[in-house]
């Protein structure tokens, strides 16, 4: 999503081609069968991924930690330290 160099001719925006089936048919993916802990971050003002859809999806994950931000957009701008701490805690909690 964040190219370091110019995109090659013919490359389309990643979000429009990255597993479009999952976006269309998310309900058919067996999320409830996951056996790994999941950590999800989302900002309410994300204009690329629906916050409401994410909230609905979170309920399907059997062992999920959901961290929500009021702002920050798709890149969760301004929350680097909070995310770093949450990821560290998430990993540490699972290694003890």
Answer yes or no: is 23 within a domain.
no
Domain count, the chain: 1
The pTM assigned to this predicted structure is 0.74
Please state, in angstroms and rounded to a whole number, the distance separating the CA atoms of residues 39 and 37: 7
Local confidence band at 1 (pLDDT 50, 70, 90 cut-offs):
very low
pLDDT by residue (tens digit) across 61-86?
A: 999 999 999 999 999 999 999 999 99
Domain span including residue 58: 37-71
pLDDT by residue (tens digit) across 28-39?
A: 889 999 999 999
Answer yes or no: is 85 within a domain.
no
Burial of 72 (0-12, 13-18, 19+ CB in 10 A): buried
Answer yes or no: is 54 within a domain.
yes
């Amino acid at each position: 999503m964040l190219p370091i160099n110019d995109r090659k001719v013919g490359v389309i925006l990643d979000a429009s081609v990255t597993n479009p089936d999952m976006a269309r048919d998310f309900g058919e993916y067996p999320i409830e069968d996951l056996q790994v802990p999941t950590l999800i971050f989302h900002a309410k003002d994300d204009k690329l991924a629906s916050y409401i859809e994410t909230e609905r999806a979170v309920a399907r994950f059997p062992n999920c930690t959901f961290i929500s931000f009021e702002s920050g957009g798709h890149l969760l701008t301004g929350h680097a330290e909070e995310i770093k701490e949450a990821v560290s805690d998430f990993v540490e909690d699972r290694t003890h």
